[in-house]
Chain A
Amino acid sequence: MSTILELYNYWIFIFLMMIGFYIVIAQGNLIKKIVGLNIFQTSVFLLYISMGKVAGGTAPILIDADVTYSNPLPHVLILTAIVVGVATTSVAMALIIRIHKAYGTIEEHEIHEQDASL
Chain B
Amino acid sequence: MMMRDLFAIVMLFGIYSLLSAAIFVTLDAVDVAFTEAAVGAGISTILVLSTLALTSSEEKPPQHKFFLPLLVVLITGTALVFGTLDMPDFADPNAPVHQHVAPRYIHDSFQETGLPNIVTSVLASYRGYDTMGEVVVIFTAGIAVSLLLTSVRHKRNEPGNLKDLGHHPIILYVSQLMIPLILLFALYVQFHGDFGPGGGFQAGVIFAAGFILYAMIIGIDKIRETFSSACLRWLAVTGVVLYISVGIVTLLLGGEFLNYNVIAEDPVEGQHWGIFLVELGVGITVTATMLGLFLTFSEVKRSQ
Q: Which of B44, B89, B98, B131 contacts A89 (CB 8 A)?
A: B44
| Interface presence of B10 (CB below 8 A) | yes
B-side interface size class: 35 or more
Interface of A is mostly: helix
Instruction: Kindly identify, within residues 87 to 123 of chain B, every residue whose CB is under 8 Å from any CB belonging to chain A.
Output: 87, 89-93, 95, 97-98, 101-102, 105-106, 109-110, 116-119, 122-123
| Residues in A whose Cβ lies below 8 Å from that of B142 | 87
CA distance A17 to B74 in the complex (A): 11
Q: Can you list 24 A-B pairs with a CB-CB distance of less than 8 A?
A: A25-B73, A26-B70, A27-B62, A32-B6, A38-B44, A54-B91, A55-B92, A59-B30, A62-B117, A70-B27, A70-B28, A71-B98, A73-B101, A76-B122, A78-B29, A80-B201, A82-B39, A82-B40, A84-B141, A90-B47, A94-B145, A98-B148, A100-B303, A106-B56
CB B115 to nearest CB in A, in angstroms, measures 8
Instruction: Kindly identify, within residues 21 to 50 of chain A, every residue whose CB is under 8 Å from any CB belonging to chain B.
Output: 21-23, 25-29, 31-32, 34-35, 38-39, 42, 45-46, 49-50
CA distance A80 to B128 in the complex (A): 11
Chain A residues in contact with chain B, CB under 8 A?
3-4, 6-11, 14-15, 17-18, 21-23, 25-29, 31-32, 34-35, 38-39, 42, 45-46, 49-55, 57-63, 68-91, 93-98, 100-101, 104-107, 109-110
| Interface presence of B243 (CB below 8 A) | no
Q: Contact: A14 with B80, CB < 8 Å?
A: yes
CB B24 to nearest CB in A, in angstroms, measures 6
| Residues in A whose Cβ lies below 8 Å from that of B10 | 31, 35
Q: Contact: B122 with A72, CB < 8 Å?
A: yes
CA distance A107 to B56 in the complex (A): 10
| Residues in B whose Cβ lies below 8 Å from that of A8 | 90
CB B111 to nearest CB in A, in angstroms, measures 11
